[in-house]
Amino acid sequence: MFRDEKGKVWTEHGEEVSEPDAASIAWTGNEPSHEQYLSDKAAVQHLGGTITDIERYQVDTLGRIRDRMSDQDNPPSADEIEKFKTEIMEEMPESVEIMLADDNAKLNASPTAAVTIPKL
């Protein structure tokens, strides 16, 4: 059960709880609000879709290309390899692009050591 900002009580399925039933609930004070519940639920659903997109990319795009690249009896041509590079970039889910951009930014922001020849 979740209470909204107006004091109404809702079930997890979005059904409003009657006032007599709501009055019988022993609230502890630590319950998330109905608004927080809806926000968290939407975030979980979004992440579920993101995971599905990544898994589909791994299997359908990267897995297929890996299998083709591993064919020692009939190796891919240079044109096929270029096509694979394009497919990898074009079919990449947005979430993977964001992760790669973050990783690249971290790599580029890391300090480099100054190397000097010691003097005797």
pLDDT in tens, 15-68: 999 998 989 998 888 889 999 999 999 999 988 889 999 999 999 999 999 999
78-108 pLDDT, tens digit each = 999 999 999 999 999 998 988 888 777 777 7
Give CA–CA dist 64/68, Å, rounded: 6
Residue type, 4: D
Chain length of the chain: 120
Band (113; pLDDT cuts 50, 70, 90)? low
Choose among 30, 32, 25: nearest CA to 4: 32
First to last CA, the chain: 76
Give CA–CA dist 63/54, Å, rounded: 12
Largest CA distance in the chain: 88
- The residues spanned by each domain of the chain are 1-30, 32-102
Beta bridge partners of 9: 3
Scan for tokens 């005797």, then name that residue: 120
Whether the pTM exceeds 0.85: the reply is no
